[in-house]
Amino acid sequence: MSDLIAGSLIILGGVFAVIGALGLVRMPDVLIRMHASTKIGTLSTGLILAGSAVVFASPDIIIRVIAIVLFILLTAPIGAHMMGRSVLSTGVPLWKNEDIAQDEVEDELLQAHDAPEDR
């Protein structure tokens, strides 16, 4: 039974990884691509690691898997946030859709980045 559970977790993680890869190819904007890759990447990595923990079922492996998943859950959003800020502050062209109201954060970040600091 544990082999069936582990196999399903690993296959499901692989399916989500493929969905994330398709998101990288199909999405029109750097920020949207980054969202697809970080969210799906975190989920797929967690599922594959959970499947490997079920396969080995050793307490030290389970502790390592938990530590790795916690590390990924803590660092992926921070890394994505920093990459998103750098994309906005460097002026990378973003996808414009007339049907969607544009966010004003881009203008504020560009103004803050261009303004000289008083030091």
Burial 22-37 (b: 16+ CB within 10 A, else e): ebeeebeebbebbebb
Contact 41, 13 (CB under 8 A): no
Non-local (6+) Cβ contacts of 44 within 8 A are: 13, 14, 15, 16, 17, 20
Output the pTM of the full model: 0.72
- Residue 106 confidence (pLDDT) above 70: no
Tokens standing for residue 100: 């969607």
pLDDT-derived band at 97 (thresholds 50, 70, 90) equals: low
pLDDT-derived band at 105 (thresholds 50, 70, 90) equals: low
For the stretch 21-49, pLDDT in tens is 888 888 888 888 888 888 888 999 999 99
For the stretch 55-75, pLDDT in tens is 998 999 999 999 999 999 999
Model pLDDT, residue 43: 92
